[in-house]
Structure 1
């Protein structure tokens, strides 16, 4: 059985022909190549697959430019990809936003200003982490996935943009109206609604990212 590997995300398909579309990143059939594993003789060690090279593209990009002077952006990109900084940095919004939402719900249930402040400070922590998340995500998208504009990347970018916008709005609302979570008005329920949307957007972006990280499973 032949193995076909997606050159964008590394997904492996088993079959006589490559699939018409990658189920992970959405790239077309032309982005698949026959894996070296399926072509290697039995008594020969399989060569390193192209997907493995894609995963280590931080090193590859530097090696290809070894004869030329690297720019600062090239060096930063190499460090980001080699050390998987995007995968590390996204743990901040993925982990802190659910905690902030939990504190927010408690603040509304118990009419607690202190719990509301706890939610607010957690949202600030997420906001401070977003520049690194966005920068490392952009560099990984451009260099590791060649700026592919398939559905998985579009959804991930859209969800991240929505989350960042809502995050700004929630913090500004809390600054303008410090007692918004304890004030018996419609505003606090609107605040809760947008916090829920923020949680969903962060979760969706994280889900899309995990599809790319665990793209090695074959069909």
Structure 2
């Protein structure tokens, strides 16, 4: 049985023909290249796929790369996006848990702990977004498939909500401990933020571990 590799995300498909769309990243069948079972052939096929994307172009010599290109290459090479994205993925669930506990216990200390965690994540988001953009452009060739569109949209939604919640808590410090409709709205928006972060993280994990099955 033939094997086909998605040149965008690395997904391996077995069958006589490549799928109409990659089930992992949504890339069209034209992005698939046939490979053999040996690692050497897989590497060669990946190289061929990359060359197909670089029609009539060649990579500039290292000394001709701009500072931005050099930095971008280093970021991708050292996997800075998968590393930096652990900040929102790890802290946001903790922050939401703390704000729920703060509401239930009417504890300003727990509410403030949630607030400070949100600030920490907000400060990390420029790096997370920048490295994500660079990785998308460099590693996945800026593919505009459904998976990347959803992941980008989820990241934007999470960042916007996070920014709004931090501003809200800054203006109204007691919003989480004062019995009112506002604190429930705060919790609802926090839940939306958590869902968006979870979705973006899930899709990112799928892409990272696409070929490691």
**TM-score, normalization by structure 1:** 0.88
What is the aligned-residue RMSD (CA, Å)?
2.2
Instruction: Give the match for residue 92 of structure 1.
Output: 87
Note the 1:85-164 alignment, pairs <5 A: 85-164=80-159
Judged with a 3 Å threshold, the aligned counterparts in structure 2 of structure 1 residues 52 and 123 are, in CA distance, closer, same or farther, namely: farther
Judged with a 3 Å threshold, the aligned counterparts in structure 2 of structure 1 residues 80 and 74 are, in CA distance, closer, same or farther, namely: same
Cα distance in 1, alignment partners of residues 63 and 30 from structure 2 = 31
**Which of 54, 73, 80 is the equivalent residue of 2:75?**
80
Contact 1:156/1:204 (8 A) holds in 2: yes
Cα distance in 2, alignment partners of residues 139 and 206 from structure 1 = 17
What count of residue pairs does the alignment treat as equivalent?
A: 206
Deviation at 1:35, TM superposition (A): 1.3
Judged with a 3 Å threshold, the aligned counterparts in structure 2 of structure 1 residues 211 and 45 are, in CA distance, closer, same or farther, namely: closer
- Structure 2 segments unaligned to the other structure (5+ residues): 51-57
Deviation at 1:195, TM superposition (A): 0.6
**Which of 169, 184, 202 is the equivalent residue of 1:207?**
202
Contact 2:4/2:32 (8 A) holds in 1: yes
- Structure 1 segments unaligned to the other structure (5+ residues): 39-43, 56-62
List structure 1 runs of 4+ shifted beyond 4 angstroms: 44-47, 49-55
Q: 1:69-110: per-residue Cα shift (whole Å, max 9, x none)?
A: 110111111111100100000000000000001100110110
Cα distance in 1, alignment partners of residues 2 and 105 from structure 2 = 60
Cα distance in 1, alignment partners of residues 84 and 60 from structure 2 = 27
Cα distance in 2, alignment partners of residues 45 and 150 from structure 1 = 28
Judged with a 3 Å threshold, the aligned counterparts in structure 2 of structure 1 residues 45 and 88 are, in CA distance, closer, same or farther, namely: closer
**TM-score, normalization by structure 2:** 0.90
Judged with a 3 Å threshold, the aligned counterparts in structure 2 of structure 1 residues 213 and 52 are, in CA distance, closer, same or farther, namely: farther
